[in-house]
Structure 1
Amino acid sequence: MNIADIQHMHENGRLEVKLSTHGKIPTSLWQSYSSFANTNGGTIALGIEEDNKRNLRIVGVPNVHNLVSMFWNNVNDGNTVSSNILVDEDVRIEHIDDKDVIIIDVPRAPRSFRPVYTGKNPLTGTWRRKGEGDYRCSNDEIRSMLRDQDDESIDKTVVEEIGLEAIDHDTLNAYKNMFRTRHPDHPWLKLPDDELLWKLGAAQRLSGDRNLHPTRAGLLMFGDERYITDEFSKYLLDFRMVSDPTQQRWDDRVMSADGTWPGNVFGFWLRVITKLTDGLPVPFNLSDGLIRNDDTPLRRAVREALTNALGHADYLGRTGVVIVRYGNERITFRNPGALRIEPSVIELGGVSDVRNETIMKMFNLLGIGERAGSGFDTMREGTRSAGLPDPELIEELNPDRTTLVLPITASTHSHQQEIQQEPDVASILLSLTGKEAEVFHLFANGDQLKTNEVAQRLNVSDTRARVLLKSLVAKRLLVRYGNSRNTIYSVKNRNTSH
């Protein structure tokens, strides 16, 4: 931003003008420096005043070079502000109408430097920008910034007070079923549950203690809500379906606190993903039990948005994860926690800074959200493929929240009779019995099997094998060909008629 632009503007969220009295730097300049650094950056123009009609008038500063030297001394002394996040090019002198103005372009500070504060005390000297003014940050905001300073993912912390009794094994089994369909020969599938949790980063042993304890990631992903809220007091996962976007009444809801299911992150993902994609057209093709070859860009965008909201959430924050589908118009994904990198950098793609690395790793192992730094690209590609506007990323402060607005399209059955909708595969896998999961695993590599072959491999009777196969056909996971003794079964694919 240069002086020619500034003189025709008003103060706003990215511009603050200051006067220099008696050749000194005003104390309020450092508040604006802190607020821009802790928000989205901005420009401070020293030597300009705003009149009572909000028009800007250039006054200039005396001894401009001395004042610039004074500024650099102060920003570097460790007493005036906590960090210098500027480079030489960020501070310059501009001349207009024989007057000198100092332009200071303050970038958004990297999270490792935030909070940037005035003086020596972050609790009293941390500021942020809202509209045309600076405001002093609350203790919650400061704690959130301090948490984000750490290079180590917060979900790696071991919850020492509890053991693996906090883990819901039905949820863990559902995860294993999905993992098995993607990696049918993976050695981890032979491990007992406690060792699998350790491999996933969901559990850890403490020094001098042979027992495993859940990590925060394991507790969030697979734990029971009662244990989760002991560690994260404001924890909440909330999905709402609002069929009529002109109304605020919801028609369907999934909440972590309703007591009808364990209330963990992975269980929430399983229950919500098909509610978000229901009605989005896609040719039916189940190539490996879950991950589809014919997956549409818009469906990938929805899946990426849900996974990102859960993986980027600050579960120690003041609010919960709230996801609302407004009919066939849009979905909003709101998670606690400010953005860890600039919105413009996120939109460019290629840079990833996940708040919960272990949770994202566990999703990645299922083939979900596996391209680091490409999340926004995936979502933008999805909406553009359907001729829709780009997703909108919104950062809200005090309390810190990030909202993604994703436009969607949806088809009705009458308009898309030639296209099959994807079955609720995730929920189906969650409901499989142990034996049903074993049968389904036999077909993961595309094998075609007869009833007696399934019976032999599982060491069960032909009658029992027939019952299991019939159940998987009814659940639309397998298809049956032929009659009587010539009947064979296989995983359904795009060429299968309905």
Structure 2
Amino acid sequence: MTSDFMKELLSKDEKITVEYKNCQYGIQEDVYETVCSFSNRYGGYIIMGVEDDGTPIGINPNMVKDMKKNFVNQLNNPDKMSPTLYLSIEDIVYEGMTLLWVYVPPTSTVEKCANRIYDRNEDGDMDITDSPIQLQNMYNRKSNTYAEHKIFPYVTTEDLRMDLMGKVRNLAKSKNPDHPWLKMSDDEIMKSSGLWEKDFSSGIQGYNLAGVLLFGKDDVIRSCCPGYITDALYRVENLDRYDDSSGARI
């Protein structure tokens, strides 16, 4: 994040992909509602330490470390956010004041905050949990956009590399020593990460394509996704062009 880009974000008022939060002395609860709504729509930037009109007021620098930690912990708490999210919250000194910012990408699954579902509309977060039509529109939108949550109801744990779960826990622990996954069973981790889901419109439930690609045995991946190819790109000097490539089919 550069000062010029931050200036641009603060000069265009709140909109469907930009939200300002005061958060001078701690992260407000509605920050997580915005994370949820951004995840369910187009994604966007949340900037903390800013008034609703875009005026920066700053955050107490002594609280930045704890605020970052609390934010990450909440995103990894399945009782708060489901599926759990991995987002990077950063600080920037802008016009002599400390601000926090986070980019929230759109997700392939419907995100919940405290078991409520939020959608983004212009510059606000809407709770649509009790609105069947809006919920169906959201599920339809995501299912038409993403393929990785296609459910394979006949895939079982015998078809997956569940021996990799130890590595999953170690990676989670390296990110956060108190990560909730460390106390969860394998099945709970799969559900928490959105790799096992239920389609409430059809009643079909099971592991989705993302789960198969991440944990599936080679023959299972070939069966569920016959066109899947791992594409390796080799870059020497820059990220705009590659010097060599190789495709490997499982």
Q: Structure 2 length normalisation: TM-score?
A: 0.51
**Match in the other structure for 1:48:** 50
> Do the aligned partners of 1:75 and 1:81 also contact (CA within 8 Å) in 2?
yes
In structure 2, C-alpha distance between the alignment counterparts of 1:14 and 1:150, rounded to whole Å: 24
SS of equivalent residue, structure 2 residue 81: coil
**Match in the other structure for 2:73:** 73
Aligned mate of 2:113, from 107, 115, 118: 118
Matches within 5 A, 1:321-336: none
SS of equivalent residue, structure 1 residue 58: coil
Matches within 5 A, 1:226-241: none
> Do the aligned partners of 1:85 and 1:109 also contact (CA within 8 Å) in 2?
no
**Match in the other structure for 1:14:** 17
- AA aligned to 2:94 is I
In structure 2, C-alpha distance between the alignment counterparts of 1:139 and 1:29, rounded to whole Å: 24
**Unmatched 5+ residue regions in structure 1?**
155-315, 318-498
Q: For 1:445-489, what per-residue CA distance to the aligned partner results, in whole angstroms no more than 9, with x for missing partners?
A: xxxxxxxxxxxxxxxxxxxxxxxxxxxxxxxxxxxxxxxxxxxxx
The percent identity for this pair of structures is 18
Structure 1 residue 9 displacement after superposition:
1.9
Structure 1 residue 5 displacement after superposition:
1.9
> Do the aligned partners of 1:115 and 1:142 also contact (CA within 8 Å) in 2?
no
**Match in the other structure for 1:108:** 106
Aligned mate of 2:124, from 112, 120, 133: 133
- AA aligned to 2:150 is D
Structure 1 residue 150 displacement after superposition:
4.6
In structure 1, C-alpha distance between the alignment counterparts of 2:75 and 2:124, rounded to whole Å: 21
> Do the aligned partners of 2:46 and 2:103 also contact (CA within 8 Å) in 1?
yes
> Do the aligned partners of 1:86 and 1:107 also contact (CA within 8 Å) in 2?
no
Task: Check if 1:60 corresponds to 2:58.
Answer: yes
- AA aligned to 2:119 is R
SS of equivalent residue, structure 1 residue 17: strand
Instruction: Summarize the Cα distance change of 1:153–1:19 in structure 2 as closer, same or farther, 3 Å threshold.
Output: same
In structure 2, C-alpha distance between the alignment counterparts of 1:118 and 1:152, rounded to whole Å: 23
In structure 1, C-alpha distance between the alignment counterparts of 2:12 and 2:90, rounded to whole Å: 19
Structure 1 residue 27 displacement after superposition:
1.1
- AA aligned to 2:122 is G
SS of equivalent residue, structure 1 residue 93: strand
SS of equivalent residue, structure 1 residue 48: coil
SS of equivalent residue, structure 1 residue 3: helix
Q: Structure 1 length normalisation: TM-score?
A: 0.27
- AA aligned to 1:33 is V
In structure 1, C-alpha distance between the alignment counterparts of 2:100 and 2:45, rounded to whole Å: 10
Task: Check if 1:152 corresponds to 2:151.
Answer: yes
Q: For 1:74-108, what per-residue CA distance to the aligned partner results, in whole angstroms no more than 9, with x for missing partners?
A: 11122221133334xx4211101221111110000
SS of equivalent residue, structure 1 residue 56: coil
In structure 1, C-alpha distance between the alignment counterparts of 2:151 and 2:81, rounded to whole Å: 26
Matches within 5 A, 1:275-286: none
Higher share of residues assigned strand: 2
In structure 2, C-alpha distance between the alignment counterparts of 1:57 and 1:83, rounded to whole Å: 33
**Match in the other structure for 2:82:** 82
In structure 1, C-alpha distance between the alignment counterparts of 2:150 and 2:72, rounded to whole Å: 29
> Do the aligned partners of 2:72 and 2:86 also contact (CA within 8 Å) in 1?
no
- AA aligned to 1:104 is V
> Do the aligned partners of 1:86 and 1:106 also contact (CA within 8 Å) in 2?
no
Instruction: Summarize the Cα distance change of 1:152–1:72 in structure 2 as closer, same or farther, 3 Å threshold.
Output: closer
Structure 1 residue 73 displacement after superposition:
1.1
Instruction: Summarize the Cα distance change of 1:58–1:117 in structure 2 as closer, same or farther, 3 Å threshold.
Output: same
In structure 2, C-alpha distance between the alignment counterparts of 1:82 and 1:139, rounded to whole Å: 19
SS of equivalent residue, structure 2 residue 34: helix
**Match in the other structure for 1:99:** 97
> Do the aligned partners of 2:21 and 2:49 also contact (CA within 8 Å) in 1?
yes
Structure 1 residue 4 displacement after superposition:
2.4
Aligned Cα root-mean-square deviation (Å): 3.2
Considering Cα pairs closer than 8 Å and 6+ residues apart, tell me whether 1 or 2 has the greater RCO: 2
- AA aligned to 1:145 is Y
Matches within 5 A, 1:48-447: 48-50=50-52, 55-62=53-60, 63-87=63-87, 90-110=88-108, 114-119=109-114, 121=115, 125-137=116-128, 138-143=131-136, 145=139, 148=143, 150-152=149-151
In structure 2, C-alpha distance between the alignment counterparts of 1:150 and 1:18, rounded to whole Å: 32
State the structure with more CA Rg: 1
SS of equivalent residue, structure 1 residue 43: strand
SS of equivalent residue, structure 1 residue 30: helix
> Do the aligned partners of 1:48 and 1:57 also contact (CA within 8 Å) in 2?
yes
